[in-house]
Amino acid sequence: MNATLHRIAILIRKELIAILKDPRSRLVLIMPVVLQSLLFGYAATFDLNEVPYALLDTDRSNASTQFVTLLDGSGVFDRVANLSSAQQIGETIGKKRALIVIHLPADFERNIVSGRGGVVQVIADGRNSNTGNVAASYVTAAVDRFNSQWNELRGGPTPALRIETRAWYNPNLETRWAMIPSLIGALSMLQVLMLSALSVAREREQGTFDQLLVTPLRPTEIMVGKAVPPILIGLVQSSIIFLIARFWFGIPFQGSLFTLYSGLLLFTTAAVGIGLALSAFSKTMQQAMLYTFVLLMPMMLLSGLTSAISNMPSAMQYLTYANPLRYAIDLVRRVYLEGASFGYLLHDMWPLVIIALVTLPAAVWLFRHRLV
């Protein structure tokens, strides 16, 4: 037992020296993670600020002015043009001067007063359906507010139903809040997979793996020695992203660090398992790289990072069960934003344990049985 630990420690030490010796490779382990988290934090957001809109107010009544004031005061919309005729709409949208055009027809106020209900026409740029949709939904919210104000002032009938949405755990529904904590898993996985996928393949290609196999190191010891360094590096990277989320973006951390790190440890181990199994299967580094890239894209897509898993076709949903990132993202979001405790996250943890228990022994088996 003692001898085993000593041999594993020696291998871990060698791996860490090989990875960290070169200052450039040290930088490569840290810089991309920092840059990517900042990049995702600022660029990958579905939230709209200062939506450029053009106004075509043909009514020019009290009601229309009140509505426009509401829009402009919301902080979301930025009026870039006042149109004078419907002919200008086409050009405004076509040349992307505005994302939406809001048209208040000539009978706007009359219809409200008469009880028939006024119409707000929203013309959105459908070429970017996502942004168009989001912008339109903001208008809906503005309409809602207008209704309640109007009725309060004029004592009109209170609508039968009113929706009041409260977004829990992310009160302002900021994409950043959902995105950055997910990156704690997603970004570190990228390099953890790469490191572990190259580790055995590199040794095979350079002939050092044979040299390793003729030492008294057992395949299981080699596996542990090869798994620990990328796990450590993965955890360091996760911590960097965590610190950026917490202190740079100021997203409040609701859960316990113990739960977070237990989850991350399981996740990184599962990811390293996949990487090592791929690596042990590959004949060359090039093959290992290729397998990793082929795998990374679907892993990112099927993780719930950008699109909700519940919206995917059911066949795809089954695929996500084999994806460690799926569990990691759910787990981290819930610990981070919701403060979920250990017990509530077991359903995210045991699949990670199973993935590790399949891939790591597979790697061990492949060490000796994959003939090159």
Partner 1 sequence: MNAADDFIVRGDNLTKRFERQKLDTITALDRVSFGARPGALTALVGPDGAGKTTLLRLAAGLMRADEGSLTVLGLDAAKQPQAIQDRISYMPQRFGLYEDLSVQENLDLYADLHGVTPEQRAERYPRLMEMTALAPFLDRLAGKLSGGMKQKLGLACTLVRSPELLLLDEPTVGVDPLSRRELWDIVSGLVENEGLSVIVSTSYMDEAERCAHVVVLHEGHVLASGTPQELMSRASGHSFLAMSQRGTPARKLQADLIDRPDVIDAVPHGGQVRVVLGDREPLSLQDVTFEPTSPILEDSLMMLLRHKTDEQPAANAALELTRKDSLDHSEVVIEVHDLVRKFGDFTAVNRTSFEVKRGEVFGLLGPNGAGKTTTFRMLCGLLPATSGTLKVAGADLRRARAEARQNIGYVAQKFSLYGDISVLENLQFFAGAYGLRNSRAAQRIEWALDNFELKQRASSTAGSLPGGFQRRLAMAAALLHEPAIVFLDEPTSGADPLARREFWRRIGSLADHGTTIVVTTHFMEEAEYCDRIMIQDAGTMLAIGTPEEVRRQAGSGGEPAHSMEDAFIGIVEQGRERAQRQEHAA
Q: How far is the CB of 29 from partner 1 (least distance, A)?
A: 15
Q: How far is the CB of 292 from partner 1 (least distance, A)?
A: 20
- Do residues 355 and 189 lie in contact, with contact meaning Cβ atoms separated by under 8 Å? no
- The smaller minimum CB distance to partner 1, of residues 14 and 127, is found at 14
> Tokens representing 125?
């740029």
- The smaller minimum CB distance to partner 1, of residues 149 and 286, is found at 286
For residues 298-311, b (16+ Cβ closer than 10 Å) or e, as one string? Answer: ebebbbbbeeebee
Q: How far apart are CA 337 and CA 254, in angstroms?
A: 6
- The smaller minimum CB distance to partner 1, of residues 212 and 355, is found at 212
Indicate the pairing of strand 121-124 with strand 77-82. unpaired
SS3 annotation, 22-81: CHHHHHHHHHHHHHHHHHHHHHCCCCCCCEEEEEEECCCCHHHHHHHHHHHHCCCEEEEE
- The smaller minimum CB distance to partner 1, of residues 57 and 221, is found at 221
- The smaller minimum CB distance to partner 1, of residues 219 and 324, is found at 219
Binding residues for partner 1, rule: CB under 8 A, are 3, 6-7, 9-11, 13-14, 17-18, 21-22, 206-208, 210-218, 371
Q: Quick check: helix, strand or coil at residue 357? A: helix
Total H helices, total E strands in the chain: 14, 4
Angle at 279 (CA atoms; ends 277, 284), nearest 5 degrees: 150
> Tokens representing 364?
């061990």
Q: How far is the CB of 212 from partner 1 (least distance, A)?
A: 7
Q: How far is the CB of 233 from partner 1 (least distance, A)?
A: 16
- The smaller minimum CB distance to partner 1, of residues 24 and 154, is found at 24
Q: Quick check: helix, strand or coil at residue 103? A: strand
- The smaller minimum CB distance to partner 1, of residues 137 and 215, is found at 215
Strand partners, 219: none
Phi, psi of 249 (to 5 degrees): -90, -10
- The smaller minimum CB distance to partner 1, of residues 19 and 184, is found at 19
Q: How far is the CB of 372 from partner 1 (least distance, A)?
A: 10
Indicate the pairing of strand 100-104 with strand 51-57. parallel
Phi, psi of 55 (to 5 degrees): -110, 130
Q: How far apart are CA 153 and CA 176, in angstroms?
A: 37
